[in-house]
Structures are given as structure tokens and as C-alpha cells.
């Protein structure tokens, strides 16, 4: 055990021995979702001994590793997809204020029909154009977190304003604490109060962590490993261990309250780690996958993910599931697990695309082929039955060289040791057979033009129902929230706290 991490390691205590050994309840399970931000494929202890993640490792060891779990190449679209059950090209491929269209029904609103009480602690990033976009208006009973995509870890400042909301109002007096500590404490409080006050009601707890997103070099000193000497890698390791400690605290609260036995935990990254940006190495590593954040290569969209907790069937523990899952699929899957009737899973709003979600639970439990055979990763890339076509991957333009690079196992480092420069795709794009080439080293577009044409037609079909909120006439839907002011005015009215621009008229 590392001396400098002894305190953090002890938080785990005996959780690996108790709390996940009893039989499953016939009641709907509690559901806890941990979403790590900008988290690299190689950022976990079971893959990279330089990173210290004992609690995440223990959950994974007692859980089910999801080896083909896919998300969008960056932040808000993944979150919007999870909450709406839609592929990003049908809900949101932007990091702007519109988030998820108000006509779409979010996951906690659906789970409420099964009696779930829902809470959020962490990064929202699913819309802040109107007060109707706030978590409390989208099904969460309470929330504490920031609305935008990034803020200072210690001050919660972003662009000269404080970005921190507590349910219906700005979180006055609560900024100034390291985000990882604050969201961990709130999640623990939610668990303890739920156990004390809500009896048999199932809990949906969504914890979209701020770590390991920039700003860089913002991590408490106690999590820094002095043996890692390269600054960016040392920061990444410290931020990851801080994340690990927060997850440990939440798990400990579930165990302490007797809830862990009936809880299903999902851990996932929101996108691959940033490994290269603006001609420079970034702090995260997706080795041995190709590329990273902001690309549709595997390093950007195939992420660390697993299921754990006492509600996970016993025969799945310590196993792996290789079937394809898109983050949008949890929308239907969680409703299925909650016991809701299949005919009620989809929302049916007018003016927006239908849900894309697929219930993968039966296939996961039986370890059979996933029903998710096809998924448009973005407007530019698609996977169909193990074949992947990337038509625009931020590498074709001359100024995007090395976005599709391969890194070495120790990255970043002096002199970029271990980096293999990428080879630009041809104008038609790159074609990969992921079954035989999971690291995307062999472009088959020239050898398999008919397969390129087949996948291109499917990508065109997916784009035929393309929809982005605020991105085209008719998509700037405000609902009843039509009393709008410039954001600077709203922020000033709320004591310099970043605020939605539009409220109820």
C-alpha cells in the first residue's frame, strides 16, 4: 500500500468482503451512475500500475467489465445521449447552452413512474438556456453542480462568473471547495438521507464527476504521487486518485446504510482522455487505442465502463461482456430494470427525432450478442457489425495532424517517447474491421469499396433525421420559458452566478 495514499486506501475498508454478497431483491434496485470526465482508457490501476485506483479496481473486479461501451467524442453530447436515449446526432453534438431539447423526456422523469427518487451531484452540461433546462426541471428532485462544461475545481469560477447551482437557485456560499470533495459529500448526504427518510423508494443517483477534466494542475497535494515526475502525467494520476476516493466514499455510504446489496452501479467515462491538442501532448492516455478526445477513433469513443453492486446477478461478477453498448442504451435498459412496461419506455414528442435506445439487459445477463449492431457515433462516423467508417476524424485537415496518433504505455513524457504518428485517411474516410483490428492500424477503404459504400448509406440514413437543439430554424424551442434576458444580465441579477437566460413568462 502506498504510504502517501494510506488514508484514501483505508476508506475502502471491508467493502470487498461485505455488501455485495446477498441475494437480489425483487424490488427495483437503486441505480448509481458514476460518469468520469475526460477519463483515459489507460487511467485505471488494472491497466496502468502507475495510476492508483484501488476502489475503482475493486468495483470492477467484483463487477462486469463492459469492453465495448461507446460514447461521444466529447462532453455534453454523451450526457445528453444518456439522459435522452438518443444518439448524439439526434439530440446534441454541441457543447453549447441548448443541451437536450425541452420536448424530450429525460431518464429521471421516466424512472419516476417506477417510484424512483432522483438526485444529481456534479457536472450537468445538458443545457442551461432556460430555467426549464435545469436538472430540477428535468426530473431530479435535487441537484448540486455546475451547468457548463468546465470551471475552476477550487473556486467554481468560469469566465469571471461562479458556476454552481443548488437545485432551484444559485449555490450561494457553497463555492470555494474542491469540486471532487463537494460532489462526493453531496452524494454521500443523498444516500444517507434517502436511507433515513425514503423507506423502500428506489434511488437514482447520478454523479457526473468533474475529475479528470481541465483546468489542469488542480488537485489537492495529498493525491499527488511524487514518484511520477512528468507534470501532466502526475496531475492526471492525482486527479484520478481523487476521483477514486470520491467513488469510495459513495460506495461506503451505500454499504453503511445497507443499500449496496440492492444497488446497480454503472461506471463510465464520458469520452476518451485528451491525449493530443493544438500540437501538444495532453495529460491523459488511451493506450493502446488510437486517438483520444475530439476524435471518433477508438481512443475517443470506446471508454472504460463496468457494472457493479449487489443488484448485479452473481454469475456476472468478475466477468466481461463484449457486446456493443452505446451510452444511449441505458435509457431503455434502466427502465427495463426498474420494471417499467416496454411500451412506455420511449417518449413520443412532436418535432424531434424518436429515441434510439435499445434494452441491452437481457443480452448482458445471458452473455449473448448485443442487439446494438449498428450505431452512428456522430454525423461523420458509424459502426455496423464490427465494421467502422470514419469520414471526418479531425485528421483530414492539415492542421489536425496527430489527432489519430497512438501513444505508448507511459504518456505524456519527455520527447513524446512511444508515440506513433497517424497516417491521414483518404478523402473517402477510413474503414476498419474492429473484430480483427481493434487498434485501427489498417485502413481497408481501398480494399473494400463495397463495404465503404454500405456503411456510407447507413450513415446517410442516420443523418436523414439529424437534429440539433438551437442549431436550425424551429429547433430553438423555449416552451413556456420565453422571458429572456442577455446572460450577463441574468448573471448580474443572481450575484454573479452563471444563470439561464430565459425563465417562465
Q: What is the DSSP code string of 33-57?
A: EEEESS--TT-STTT-TTS--HHHH
Q: What Rg do the C-alpha atoms of the chain give, in angstroms?
A: 22
DSSP state of 354: P
* Average pLDDT of the residues in 489-498: 95
Say what angle helices 75-84 and 330-337 make with each other, to 10 degrees: 40
* Average pLDDT of the residues in 499-505: 91
**pLDDT at residue number 18:** 37
| Tens digit of each residue's pLDDT (9 = 90 or more) over 70-98 | 999 999 999 999 999 999 999 999 998 99
Q: State the average pLDDT for the chain.
A: 92
pLDDT above 70 coverage of the chain, percent: 92
Give me the helices (H) in 164-304, please: 179-197, 231-256, 298-301
**pLDDT at residue number 474:** 65
DSSP state of 222: G
**pLDDT at residue number 277:** 75
pTM for the whole structure = 0.95
Burial 422-446 (b: 16+ CB within 10 A, else e): bebbeeebbbbebeebbebeebbbe
Cβ count within 10 A of residue 310: 26
CA neighbor of 308 nearest in space, from 63, 56, 61: 63
pLDDT band (50, 70, 90) for residue 6: very low
CA atoms of 189 and 358, how far apart (whole Å): 33
CA atoms of 325 and 302, how far apart (whole Å): 10
Amino acid at each position: 500500500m502506498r504510504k502517501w495514499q494510506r488514508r484514501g486506501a483505508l476508506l475502502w475498508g471491508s467493502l470487498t468482503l461485505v455488501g455485495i454478497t446477498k441475494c437480489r431483491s425483487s424490488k427495483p434496485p437503486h441505480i448509481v451512475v458514476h460518469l468520469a470526465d475526460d477519463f483515459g482508457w489507460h487511467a485505471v490501476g488494472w491497466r496502468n500500475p502507475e495510476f492508483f485506483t484501488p476502489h475503482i479496481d475493486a468495483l470492477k473486479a467484483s463487477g462486469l467489465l463492459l469492453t465495448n461501451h461507446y460514447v461521444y467524442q466529447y462532453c455534453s453530447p454523451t450526457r445528453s445521449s444518456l439522459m435522452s436515449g438518443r444518439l448524439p446526432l439526434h439530440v446534441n453534438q454541441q457543447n453549447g447552452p441548448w443541451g437536450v431539447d425541452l420536448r424530450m423526456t429525460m431518464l429521471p422523469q421516466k424512472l419516476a413512474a417506477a417510484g424512483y427518487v432522483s438526485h444529481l451531484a456534479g457536472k450537468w452540461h445538458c443545457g442551461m438556456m432556460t430555467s426549464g433546462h435545469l436538472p430540477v426541471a428535468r426530473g431530479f428532485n435535487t441537484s448540486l453542480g455546475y451547468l457548463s462544461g468546465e470551471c475552476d475545481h477550487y473556486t467554481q469560477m468560469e469566465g469571471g462568473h461562479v458556476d454552481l447551482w443548488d437545485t432551484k437557485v444559485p449555490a450561494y456560499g457553497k463555492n470555494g471547495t474542491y469540486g471532487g470533495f463537494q460532489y462526493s459529500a453531496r452524494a454521500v448526504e443523498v444516500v444517507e438521507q434517502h436511507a433515513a427518510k425514503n423507506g423502500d423508494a428506489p434511488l437514482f443517483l447520478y454523479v457526473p464527476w468533474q475529475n479528470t477534466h481541465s483546468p489542469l494542475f488542480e488537485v489537492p497535494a495529498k493525491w499527488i504521487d511524487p514518484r511520477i515526475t512528468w507534470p501532466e502525467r502526475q496531475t492526471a494520476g492525482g486527479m484520478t486518485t481523487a476521483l477514486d476516493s470520491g467513488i469510495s466514499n459513495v460506495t461506503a455510504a451505500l454499504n453503511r446504510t445497507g443499500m449496496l446489496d440492492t444497488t446497480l452501479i454503472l461506471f463510465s467515462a464520458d469520452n476518451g482522455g485528451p491525449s493530443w491538442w493544438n500540437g501538444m501532448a495532453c495529460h491523459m492516455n488511451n493506450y493502446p487505442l488510437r486517438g483520444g478526445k475530439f476524435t471518433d477513433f477508438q481512443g475517443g469513443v470506446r471508454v472504460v465502463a463496468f457494472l457493479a453492486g449487489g443488484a448485479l446477478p452473481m454469475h456476472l461478477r468478475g466477468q466481461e461482456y463484449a457486446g456493443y453498448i452505446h451510452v444511449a442504451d441505458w435509457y431503455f435498459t434502466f427502465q427495463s430494470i426498474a420494471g417499467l412496461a416496454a411500451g412506455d419506455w420511449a417518449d413520443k414528442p412532436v418535432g424531434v427525432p424518436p429515441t434510439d435506445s435499445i434494452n441491452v439487459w437481457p443480452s448482458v445477463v445471458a452473455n449473448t450478442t448485443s442487439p446494438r449492431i449498428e450505431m452512428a457515433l456522430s454525423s461523420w462516423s458509424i459502426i455496423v457489425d464490427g465494421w467502422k467508417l470514419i469520414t471526418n476524424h479531425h485528421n483530414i485537415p492539415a492542421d489536425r495532424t496527430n489527432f489519430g496518433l497512438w501513444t505508448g504505455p507511459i504518456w505524456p513524457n519527455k520527447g513524446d517517447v512511444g508515440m506513433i504518428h497517424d497516417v491521414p485517411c483518404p478523402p473517402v474516410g477510413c474503414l476498419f474491421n474492429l473484430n480483427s483490428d481493434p487498434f485501427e492500424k489498417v485502413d481497408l477503404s481501398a480494399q473494400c469499396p463495397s463495404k465503404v459504400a454500405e456503411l456510407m448509406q447507413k450513415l446517410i440514413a442516420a443523418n436523414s433525421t439529424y437534429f440539433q437543439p438551437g442549431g436550425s430554424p424551429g429547433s430553438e424551442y423555449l416552451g413556456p420559458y420565453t422571458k429572456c434576458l442577455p446572460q450577463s444580465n441574468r448573471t448580474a441579477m443572481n450575484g454573479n452566478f452563471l444563470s439561464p437566460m430565459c425563465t417562465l413568462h
